[in-house]
Structure 1
Amino acid sequence: MSLPADASDCGPPSGGGKAFSWPTTSQKVDVPFKKDKHEGLDFNVPLKSPVVAVDSGTVIKNADNEIWIEHEKGVQYRYQYFTDLTAKVGTKVARGDQIGTSGSGDEADGAKGPHLHFALWVAEGNEKGEGKLVAIDPGVDSFGDEATGPSGDSGDCGCGAGGPLVGSNEQQQAFNYFVSSGYTKEQAAGIVGNMIHESAVKPMRLQNTAETVQTKAKDAEGNSLGWGIVQWTPASKIISNSRKGGVPYEQIETLAYQLDFLRRQLAGETVSPEKAAGQGLHAATTPEDAAYAFGHLYERFAGHENPNAPTYGVRKTSARKVFELYKGGTGVPGSGPATSCSAGSGNIAAVAMKLAWPTDGHDGLGTNASDATVAKPEYVAAMKQYNDPGGLRAYTDCGRFVATVMHMSGADPKFPKVSTGVQFDYMQNSGKYDFWHAVPPGGMKPGDILNGPGHTYLYVGPWGAEGKGYNAAAASLYGHVPEAGHLYAVGGQFWVFRLKAPPTPAGPPAEPKA
């Protein structure tokens, strides 16, 4: 597969359980923290590189070539030297959201020229965050460097730090990834059906080598053959240009990085866009159609112009087998096929967290129109597509929020769109849900729905502002738009409903012979 790649294809990597995401594409600190001399870290990064929020918070300054983000009272993240400062004062940002592009500056005790200066300021000696703010060393080891999934662009998914790939093998992980990125299961199967014949879905596979042979990115970089899950040809077209974007060789070798690289190309977001292939895939309705679309429009193998080429036949067969095996998901109700929050993922909890603010305090403004200005933009868009935004105070309606999540995630497309009482009766009588008037055996699980007289909301597990203990997402009619909250009143006012598990795949498919 010959594709021109470029450094701008490579977004900032997500955090992997560390305190912070990397603030930009570079993971190289040129000048470290020095108390009273250089109170921050200088990242060596080219001009106009993306700058992202290392954690969630509210923008409190956008001036003097600086952006300050307050994570919570007494904790601020400060970024300096920009070409563009896009995050406005008052904007609430999530971990991984882009806030601008990097610029250049000369520091007396720091770096000179193009770089990004990042500093952590905290209240000194006061647990309430009321003391004097002082700069402290954030420590390079506090930044996440694992490439675990999508790069956190809020326009597509907005899940923040992403998460580990889900599946028993590379084929299932790739299938789950594309379903969670907004493709149907048929379309995801078409992509994977092609990958099986390109590389056996092995990210370190070099063309004309055995499936068990792994070729490191550094060794493949100068090779004229194809390399990676879709056999980018020559290998340097993904490796060299990713390296220019500051991506380590080890990260380029991962399945997660290559899947995200491919996803962005199909979305037409990079300087090597393959939007026509993405559009062709989205138009496909069967695994066979999707296999043809991806082979014809993206892989463009020798002879792809002939729709009756034998190569299409074997790839369609593989796509159908992948679909039949993995269409049931992971077998975990509510958790979906991956950690992504995209439409159709089946992931109730992640979609809820996509649509709800990760903090409280987002009170409604009194009319449905003004409530829409308070609600998270992703929720406003989802309501227009999956529910009725014209209902009374719709954006603060708890039942509409739960229904929108169930429809958008694809977990239950027949879930009643409004009225907690109607929804209660549906869950008790549809046969789709287990339910308890107490904490379920084994405890709560992400994706559980709580429903009682006049109110319903979702359990999502730990999330939101650090130290707050948030574990639920809810709207409240006349009160607030969807936001983080606390689990309460289980076994008293509320019943717990859990979508029953889909069938579990039996095992990996046999690889067809090309």
Structure 2
Amino acid sequence: MQIMDYFVEKGLTKEQAAGICGNLQYESGLNPGITEAGNGIGYGLAQWSFGRRDELNAFAQSEGKPVSDMKVQLDFLWKEMNTTEPGALEAFKANPNMSAAEASNIFYDKFERPAYNPENKNNRSEAATQFLAQYENNNGSQGAVADNSGGPSGNAPAPTEFNQRLVAAIEKQDANMAGTGYCATAVQRALSECGLPQFMGSGNGGEMDKPLLASGKFQEVSYADAKPGDIIVRPPSANPNDSSVYGDVSVITARNGDNITQTNDATYQFHKDNDRYDSKATFLRYTG
């Protein structure tokens, strides 16, 4: 069962299906078995919580299948769109000519309704546009979206080539996005350019390690082993007035001993002894 195909077969346009997928990618990494990090409240593709999670559990039980089943969750999501959560579907029907980005924004506002974060919303719409492009490149169907946590398969290079390509891609994003403060968007776009789907979770840089690791395509490495092309994820600062209140994600672009240069929408040095957050960083490497 391909997620894009599922919604197209239900009568949505491919742009609208991509808009849904862009949101689900950010909610769960398209992993139906994932539980929300930290509080454990949200669950599944759409990170259903509280009463809606209870309803999902009851629906799965009525179908005689595990709640983690992909088809069960898609059927439940479609049921919600037609009954208790009709806003997105009504908007889709009213405008069959919308773009993938427009569809993503509608699904964000009328179905998911997360705590508003403009960068997160923008990231979802960009992910939707990528889903649409990859779906069209595959002439629809096969390979557009994986059944679990993989996202669109893209055309990622072998691990031996990946780091070099990611360094070049993030340096391009630094030039394009200099000073915007959108570190997660910069890394997301660089990964996309390298043929990988966008494993962004909440969209906050400091939480990007969770969906990256959940994808099975990355593994954690030590500070001593980190090299150019590896990803650095730093947790949020405890100080609410800090510029890194949402954490930070970057790519190592150069290293000479302990002298590490990192890049996202800016280029700066990593300081391993900085107790504020550098010393708590996680280093991730693509393994394919």
The TM-score bracket by the shorter chain reads: 0.3 to 0.5
TM-score normalized with structure 2 length: 0.46
Q: Which has the higher contact order (CA 8 A, sep 6+)?
A: 2
Q: Flag the structure with higher strand content.
A: 1
- When Rg is computed on C-alpha atoms for both structures, the one with the higher figure is 1
TM-score normalized with structure 1 length: 0.27
Q: Flag the structure with higher helix content.
A: 2
